[in-house]
Amino acid sequence: MFQNTKLKNGINLITAPVKGTKAATILIMIGAGSKYESRNNNGISHFLEHMFFKGTAKRPTAIGISSELDKLGCEFNAFTSKEYTGYWIKVDANNFEIAVDILSDMIINSKFDADEINRERGVIIEEINMYEDNPMMHIEDVFEECLYGDIPAGWETIGTKENIKNFSREQFTEYFKRQYNTKNTIICLAGNVNSRMAKMVDKYMGGYKSGQGFREKEAVKIKLSAPKVKLLYKKTDQAHISLGAHTASYNYPDKLAIKFFSIVLGGSMSSRLFYNLRERNGLAYYVRTGTEFYTDSGYITTTAGVPVAKVKQAIEIILKEYKKISTELITKEEIERNIDLICGRTVIQLEASDNIANWYGRQAVMNLTLKRTKQNAPKIETPEEFLKKIRAIKPAEIRKVAKEIFQPKNLNLAVIGPFKEKKEFQKILKF
């Protein structure tokens, strides 16, 4: 069971103790991401994430921070998404206070040194090159651009090379002061943690101030009239496709049904699309169906790498399975198998304290955004509550929600490969 309290400065603190582990994780989540950016500063959330590791007044160099963390034998990292950014350290619980000292120092006292910013430009440009040279990874960004168009929701989180080359130090400090604040931050402790550790967090995060001039993200407005196609021409030996549909936002009551049938469609080696695309027709090595739920929108999509000459056949197979799950009831055997699959995976995943911290931290930071924009914020779910709902899911519920989603006007297709004409793809986007 988790506890939800507040630090003296108002930050929400979630504590999730776990018996039988010697590791402890601290995760700091901030409601800052690429949806909070403008065209001129697209990419700054991600770039800023990098800069927190580059030096503070107390630890003035990047090697000083990384060496001190490595000396603890800990795991540490950070991540930036469309709606939030996270920073975490997983450590032997005996070294927890040192980890909190380091992480809080990074968040509160980073220098954003101009020379370090200039050096990091090259690192991030190479990160962009890495994604662009890997269609299996890049297809996700192309698909979101297809879904949302030229608004922050459709821009790449990593930003543009032009922006990366031209960001000023003032832009970093302004964005930090605006988006990083006590009302927009969640801290989660998980693993071998206790009230004494919560007091440590209170002590070291005490200097974290309230922000000013907070900028809300641009609302996503979707107009559905016809299927959309986005092609990224690239000379490849394999076509990478992402075919999906708009669904609903994070607080949608039937969100669980969407998660469930995404697993049925392409979430395992026994899933329908893995079997039909790979095992039966030999069209793909990788096949996966996944979902994303933002505070103002969501989607489901299937991605796969298929032969260039057989890309239309692969699309037709995916569409056939989309139609089937929206018109036919899932069998008792299939629903039971996938319930067991989800329950088993969840239990295994939550063996690790960093995954537990992310489980609660992500829910909490999403709820902060919903409450701030006066939307309904669902109750934070424990893993046990989630699994109880999974076990109660019904075939009729799945079919009903799938039927609402899988309509021709709702379809979006992104393709990376040697293609320039959209018309041939638009012709086959129908049920």
pLDDT tens-digit profile of 286-340? 999 999 999 999 999 999 999 999 999 999 999 999 999 999 999 999 999 999 9
212: pLDDT strictly greater than 70: no
**Regarding predicted confidence, which is higher, 221 or 169?**
169
84: pLDDT strictly greater than 70: yes
Angle at CA 384, nearest 5°, toward 351 and 291? 80
Name the average pLDDT for the chain.
Answer: 96
214: pLDDT strictly greater than 80: no
Q: Which of 94-103, 211-220, 222-231, 271-280 has the lowest average pLDDT?
A: 211-220
Residues 25, 350: contact at Cβ < 8 Å?
no
What pLDDT is recorded for position 1?
82
What pLDDT is recorded for position 213?
64
What pLDDT is recorded for position 113?
97
Q: What fold does the segment set 228-428 form as a domain?
A: Cytochrome Bc1 Complex; Chain A, domain 1 (3.30.830)
Q: Which of 136-140, 207-211, 227-231, 243-247 has the lowest average pLDDT?
A: 207-211
d(CA 417, CA 291): 23
User: What is the average per-residue pLDDT within 341-345?
Assistant: 98
What pLDDT is recorded for position 373?
84
Tell me the CA distances in angstroms from 294 to 70, 248, 334, 338, 396, one per residue in order. 34, 8, 29, 24, 25
What pLDDT is recorded for position 374?
86
Rg, C-alpha atoms of the chain = 22
User: Which architecture, in CATH terms, is 3-204?
Assistant: 2-Layer Sandwich (3.30)
What pLDDT is recorded for position 225?
86
CATH topology identical between 3-204 and 228-428: yes
pLDDT tens-digit profile of 13-38? 999 999 999 999 999 999 999 999 99
User: Is the torsion defined by CA of 44, 123, 165, 420 positive or negative?
Assistant: negative
pLDDT tens-digit profile of 126-146? 999 999 999 999 999 999 999
Enumerate the domain spans of the chain: 3-204, 228-428
111: pLDDT strictly greater than 90: yes
